[in-house]
A and B are shown apart, each in its own frame.
Chain A
Amino acid sequence: MITLVTGGSKCGKSSYAEKVLNFFDGEKYYIATMSPVGSDAAEIISRHKKMREGKGYITVECQRDICNADVSENSGVLIECLGNLCANEMFVGSDIFKPADKIVSDIRALSERVSELIIVTNEVGCDGVEYSAETLLYISQLAEINRKIAEFSDNVIECVYGIPVPRKGAVIC
């Protein structure tokens, strides 16, 4: 089963995604995509690590080429999150101008070797700010990734202040 979890920043989507993963009866992996750059990142990483303590997840850090993430066949996998993955592929030590197709095919490949895949993404296109061309390209690439992954996902859930709203399929928990 593939579940895409979306929403604005700080909407409770990580907690919800973990709840879905906890339903999976088998080996559970957490793929962390954030580049540990800047003090904000360090804080968020440490908060998320604390959240995951004692949950029995195997943490795998993977900042790009997510199809190569070191996870077992038929396991349950949570990817956190596509916003970072897309930024990494575009801006961090790489020069992929439009990574959407690559990221979508990487995720599809990963989905074919695991049993349960939960993908956390981000809504970044609703604040009406006229950003630079580079930022607009990032917003459009992330939105394209979201649309294409939603197409082959079983469930698409939008979190609003921690409330899961089904956009496709069903709310699992």
Chain B
Amino acid sequence: MRFITGGAYQGKAETASKLFGIKADEIVSGADCDMEKVFSAACIRDYHRLVSRLMDTDTDPVEFTQRLCRENSRCVIIMDEIGCGIVPMEKRERVYRENVGRCGCIIAAESDTVVRVICGIAEFLKGEV
């Protein structure tokens, strides 16, 4: 598994294409894809949005992510870093950040390569291409 993270709009999808040769039509978006598609997709972007959608359907994002790691261990996952703000007032938002953080830790632990992108520049936090 390979994991690309960083803030919004930093060039993460472009990095997936540059580093891992992912083509545009191989990417599904967690914002709107069929939930079962992620188990066969080459690359899933906006995984944080998927986490939010799983919460909306009362599916445990952590269990879902563990299943993803078992069943699609070759995929590239792209997820925004969302933890650098004020702790939100709303409980749902706090739980969302908790879930994104826990899923991110699971994905990073399962990945051979972890890349963080800032200003379009890729930094390897773990492994290499």
A residues adjacent to B (C-beta < 8 A): 4, 6, 8, 123-129, 139-140, 143-144, 146-147, 149-151, 156, 158, 167-168
Contact = CB atoms under 8 A, between A and B. Distances in A.
B9 A167 contact: no
Interface of B: 6-11, 48, 80-86, 88, 96-97, 100, 118-121, 123
B9 A125 contact: yes
User: Chain B interface secondary structure, helix, strand, loop or mixed?
Assistant: loop
B48 to A, nearest CB: 7
Contacts of B123: 167
Contact of A125 (B7, B48, B121): B7
A4 B119 contact: yes
Contact of B84 (A6, A126, A146): A126
A129 B8 CA distance: 10
- With a 10 A CB-CB cut-off, give which of A128, A129, A149, A168 has the most chain B CB atoms: A128
Given A6-B118, A150-B121, A128 B10 contact: no
A168 B121 contact: yes
Contacts of B96: 128
Contacts of A143: 7-10, 119
A127 B10 contact: no
A118 B102 CA distance: 38
Contact of B8 (A8, A139, A168): A139
A123 B121 contact: no
Contacts of A129: 85, 88
B99 to A, nearest CB: 11
A34 to B, nearest CB: 22
